[in-house]
Amino acid sequence: MIDATTAPLLLAGVPLLGAAFSFVVWNKPDHLRGWSIIVCLIGLVAAAGLSEYLAAPPEGLLLVYLLLVAACASLLGQPVHRTHRPSWLLTLIFLGLGLSILTSQNQLSQIALLLLLSLTAVLLYRHHTQLWPISWWGIGAYGLAALCVVNSIVAGPPLSSITSLLACMILLPLVPFHEGYITVLTRLPGNLPSFIVLLFPAIGLHGLASVVPTVPDVVAWAVNLFALAGTLYGAGKALAQSRARLLLSFGSLSLYSMLWWFVVATRATTPRAAVFVGAVGLATSGLFLAWQVIRTRYGDDVDPQSISGLAATMPRYAVLLSLLALAAMGLPPFGLFAGFMGLLLPSAVTFSLSLLIMVTAWLAASWYIMGMVQQWLFGAKRPDLRYTDLLHSELAALMILVGVLLALGVMPATFFGPDGTATATSAITESFVWKN
Amino acid sequence: MTPILFVPFLLLIAACTVLVGTDRSQYTRAKLAAYPIGAAFVGAGATLYLVATGGPIAVQFYDLSSVVTFAIPIGFYVDRLSAVMMTLITGVSVIIYNYSIVYMYQDRHARRYLAMICLTDLVLICMVSSANLMMLFLFWQILSYLLYVLAHNHAHAGTLAGAFKTFTLLRVADTAFLAGIALAYQLYGTLDFQELFARAAEKPIALSLWPGMEISAATAVTLLFFFGAMGKSAQFPIHLWLPGSLFAPTPVHALLHAGIINAGGFLINRLAPLFGLSSTALHVAFVIGTLTAILGASMMLAQNDIKKTLGFSTIGQMGYMIMECGLGAFALAVFHLIAHGLFKATVFLNCGNVIHKARQDPHSPYVDHQTEEPSLSPLTWFTGFVTTLFIPLLILLVTHGVLRIPLLESQGTVIFLFFIWITSSQAILTLTRLRAVASWKVSAAMLMTLLFIVFVYLFAVVSFTAFLYPDPEEVASYFQAAALPNWLFDVMIVMATLLTISGWTYLYRRARGRTMWMPAWIEGVRIRLYVLFMNRLYADEIYQQLGKSLMEVLHRFDKSAQGWSR
């Protein structure tokens, strides 16, 4: 019989079993990728079928579905090649662990998290080169996160809640614990960055749900400060980058820092926060895939500054990239705008300088993302470049992401789960103090 | 179904008609799409009639009690202001679209371009008929992006830089708008227009910015909204995007200058009850508007490119419009934006012909009157003097002395009279040639111009104001809120009058062949100012330098942070 204990196991079992069976078609990369995608689709159907048996966390089950969609899209957007097989296999394993963390009860969830963090540290070590000494920071960050998880299992409160918070800071990136996140997105191969950009923050948000209400005020104050610093730091760093992966990593760091500020200010995670995380993750994932399309055509070490004029020669790519950029910049009618407004309007946070910083970071996203997209799409067409528009699988991957982002933007907030803060806030009728 | 929903729907049909289909049928489909746009205009006209006779129409697809539960709270609220704007937008669109079909014939990107025009119209219509601030903001932002996309030739470096500048500057203003929405929702708990106005008027709230420094909530909110409006209406100092986007196709400019740029004026009018609660915000609007009007007009005079001249003329006119809002003359601002929109669209659609003719004929445009003697024509000078100086002063004396209208207590009336005077003087001096030989025709033209402008203004003041704002008390309250300190108002009126009279004296003496003594330093300043205005106050260079400096700081920070963090 299916119940609340077995349903998460069944759900997590789909991708894990899929990963185990993938060795059957290991020698045929096209079959392996097809198999991986089918597993993700089965997972999606299983999630829909098992949803009534799954215990809904405060942020709702939206992220469970979005993880499956992101995994599927990241696999579709990857070209078929032997060298990408390990990353497809790891996507399924990460997906299984991620689903287990998001849906299981405490202990199993923490074991899965421990496994995930350890596996990430190992992967970073595996892909470490002397040219990128920064990888050590990432390995250290995920090692620390794993220690924090162990500590939160064995120690009692308040130490356990603080170590859990620390683990969340590494997963849902927050300055100064963001190194792991940046390293994972810039160092891991294949489609893994485009999947992890949603996976880790989703797990971080899930962890925050139980930790945030128990965090002492002084810690919350410090986190608040980190969030503000991270928002500006991420935006500033993104503006200074010329490398696509670094730009996207720092840009998403800035946006996730905004979420931290809202969550700490309201001391709660809501389905709106899940919409925001999902939208940031999917939009960044889409841009990673779009960058992958360019790398597939012009090589891994292509300089983004040397690409121009794609709008005229790759119209389908141009349209989808523009839509993804719109979503990532927080323009309507996409999910990031809806998520941001959903956090901004009904929350109990007072209008303050901090809120202005949030809004400024939101503005900065328009600057660096538009700069990047304009560089790629417009300008003079280069005769020495070979232009090939999107292949069917790439087109499908980007279209799925754009479609989901659109759905996140136009669907009523109540669709994603009940929200205590959704009721209209009462008007302030007394003197109102601007918090400097 | 009310005609309100038909209007955006028809524009969507037009966009789809252009967009979907084979290349072979592209031209036929483009021509076919003109019909739904025409029908949208008829629908807008019908809406105007319905609203004028039956009051505002509201269509809501969301729960009023909680705007934010629906990610995009789609709803329409069409009152007289919205209906007038809808009619203007669709009317101008019919002309521009039909012009564009021929203008873009056989262009490789004609399909995308025509569809974008239809979509921009759709967004504009949805924006002006929004039922709440959220929906308005939503379409407001989409418009920012469409403006970026409509700059057509993206392979051209100048166009690219202009488009990027347009987008980033508009986003700066959008951010202020967003902050205004967040603050308004936090203070009043609603984004629905009518409720928002009612709650804001119900109980004034004070915001403490600093210990001992308080600001009214209405002022804080309206200032943020005003900053948002400044972006779209190209107000100084964020006006740069407008001249920067001048590489776009001519019909885009016609649409931009006749419709899109009016968004700022529309926003202030839509939120007039909120602006009416804050004298500070209105005064800020007045100052910014005046500054923009003066700088825009001055820069226009020093440009040597027809599109740039028209662009800066629009900036000046938008400043004028915002200034009217700042003076509490909201209806006059709407009237102005309609008149300016129609005029500027016509001029832009025609400027291509002028450029084309000038390229073919080196003598074009012809500079006439070259053979004319700079003689004085007493008759025309006398008529000009009477129509632009004597009659206005006579009207002032009559209204004050005979009709006993208390002008000194009613800034609103003085404002209207003053605008009549300025507009008629400008029109007479532009349309007629004072150096021409004495002619009864010229004198009659001057008188007719004056009469025409007086009647147009009377219509604007009496009928149009009563149409848009039927409650006279409401209109009076706006003037009262916008009232400047008496001494300042008097100083401004006297200064403007002296300037006009000095201008006349200067013109008269020059026409008589006499020179006016000028100190050398004034001549030096005049030349420097000319260079300054010709280079558009070096604002582009300043912004560029600011951006460069910021990027340098960020790159330095990026490099220094690499040891600790990538």
Q: Would you list the domain boundaries of chain A?
A: 6-418
Closest residue to A426, CB basis, from B134, B142, B189:
B189
Mean pLDDT of chain B: 82
| CA nearest neighbour of A409 among A278, A288, A285 | A278
What's the rounded mean pLDDT across residues A222-229? 92
> What confidence score (pLDDT) does residue B66 get?
53
C-alpha–C-alpha distance, residues B347 and B300, integer Å: 15
Both B354 and B388 in one domain: the answer is no
Residue that wins the pLDDT comparison between B402 and B360: B360
What total number of domains does chain B contain? 3
Out of B323, B358, B393, a domain closes at: B358
pLDDT at A356 over 90: no
For chain A, say whether B64 makes contact (Cβ under 8 Å): no
A321, A377 contact by CB (below 8 A): yes
- Closest CA relative to residue B427, chosen from B453, B390, B408: B453
- Distance CA(B449)–CA(B447), nearest Å, equals 5
Instruction: Give the closest of A137, A341, A374 to B160, CB-based.
Output: A374
Return the minimum-mean-pLDDT range out of A84-98, A260-274, B455-469, B496-510. B496-510
Read off the tokens for B478: 């706006």
- Whether residue B433 lies within 8 A of chain A, CB to CB, comes out as no
* B208–A363 C-beta distance less than 8 A: no
Interface probe for B, chosen from A175, A341, A376 (most Cβ of B below 10 Å), is: A341
The beta-carbon contacts of B295-299 under 8 Å, at least 24 apart in sequence, are B295/B236, B295/B319, B295/B533, B295/B537, B296/B236, B296/B239, B298/B529, B298/B533, B299/B533, B299/B534, B299/B536, B299/B537
Q: B273 preceded by cis ω (within 30°)?
A: no
- Asked whether residue B170 is assigned to any structural domain, the reply reads yes
Nearest Cα of chain A lies from the Cα of B83 at a distance, in angstroms, of 25
Give residues with Cβ within 8 angstroms of B363, minimum separation 6: none
The tens digit of pLDDT for each residue in B293-323 reads 989 988 988 888 888 888 888 999 899 899 8
Place of tokens 């009262």: B480
Query: Helix (H, G, I), strand (E, B), or coil: what is residue A302?
Result: coil
CA distances from B78 to A325, A357, B55, B56, B139 (A): 33, 35, 9, 5, 16
Shared domain for B503 and B387, answered yes or no, is yes
HEC-encoded secondary structure of B253-294: HHHHHHCHHHHHHHHHHHCHHHHCCCHHHHHHHHHHHHHHHH
* Partner-chain contact A431 B188, CB within 8 Å: no
What is the model's pLDDT at position B352? 77
Q: Which chain A residue's Cα is nearest to B192?
A: A424
Q: Is B354 in the same domain as B392?
A: no
SS3 at position B60: strand
Which of A:242-261 have CB within 8 Å of B?
246
> B475 and B402 share a domain?
yes
Does residue B433 surpass a pLDDT of 70? Answer: no
How does residue A323 score in pLDDT terms, banded at 50, 70 and 90?
A: very high
Give the residue, A193 or B192, on which the prediction is more confident. Answer: A193
Buried b (16+ CB within 10 A) or exposed e, A401-412: bbebbeebbbbe
Beta bridge partners of B215: B207
- Contacting B residues, span 523-562, partner chain A, CB-CB under 8 Å: 551, 554-555, 557-558, 561
Q: Are B388 and B425 in contact (CB under 8 A)?
A: yes
Phi-psi region of B386 (alpha: psi -120 to 50; beta: other; left: phi over 0): alpha
Nearest to B208 among A183, A311, A431 (CB): A431
pLDDT > 90? residue B347: no
Residue type, B277: L
Please tell me the distance from the alpha carbon of residue A284 to that of residue A325, in angstroms, as a whole number.
Answer: 9
Interface test with A, best of B186, B203, B213, B558 (most A CBs within 10 A): B186
- pLDDT confidence band for A432 (50 / 70 / 90): very low
Structure confidence at residue A430 as a pLDDT band (50, 70, 90): very low
For A99, A219, B439, the CA distances from B377, given in Å and listed in that order, are 91, 85, 9
Asked if residue B365 is part of any domain, the answer here is no
Of the candidates B175, B217, B557, which has its C-beta nearest A240's C-beta?
A: B557
A6 touches B at CB < 8 Å? no
Residue B91 and residue B229 share a domain: no
Residues B58 and B201 in one domain: no
In A283-322, the residues whose Cβ lies within 8 Å of chain B are 309, 311-312
Q: Residue B328 domain-assigned? A: yes
A229 in contact with B at a CB cutoff of 8 Å?
A: no
Asked whether residue B367 is domain-assigned, the answer is no
Taking the C-alpha atoms of residue A46 and residue A76, their distance in angstroms, rounded to an integer, is 20
Q: Residue B207: name the closest of A267, A360, A353, A264 by CA.
A: A353
Same-domain check for residues B351 and B384 = no
What is the DSSP code (8-state) at residue B402?
I
Contact between chains at A312 and B155 (C-beta distance less than 8 A): yes
Mind telling me how many Å the CA of A392 is from chain B's nearest CA? 21
C-beta atoms of A331 and B183 within 8 A: no
Instruction: Provide the residue range defining the domain that includes B27.
Output: 1-131
Q: What does the H/E/C string look like for B505-536?
A: HHHHHHHCCCCCCCCHHHHHHHHHHHHHHHCH
Whether residues B228 and B344 fall in one domain: yes
Distance from B470 to chain A by nearest Cα, in Å? 29
Residue B206 at interface with chain A, using a CB cutoff of 8 Å? yes
- Give B298-329 as a DSSP string: HHHHH--SHHHHHHHHHHHHHHHHHHHHHTT-
Is pLDDT larger for residue B354 or for residue A17?
A17
A240–B555 CB contact, under 8 Å: yes
Domain match, B250 and B332 both: yes
Most confidently modeled of A278-292, B13-27, B344-358? Answer: A278-292
* pLDDT attached to residue B329: 85
Q: How distant is the alpha carbon of residue B88 from its chain centre?
A: 13
B214: tokens are 């308080």
Residues of B in contact with A367 (CB under 8 A): 168, 171
Of A236, A377, A424, the CB nearest to B554: A236
Q: What is the mean pLDDT of the segment spanning A50-72?
A: 87
| Residue B550, beta-bridge partner list | none
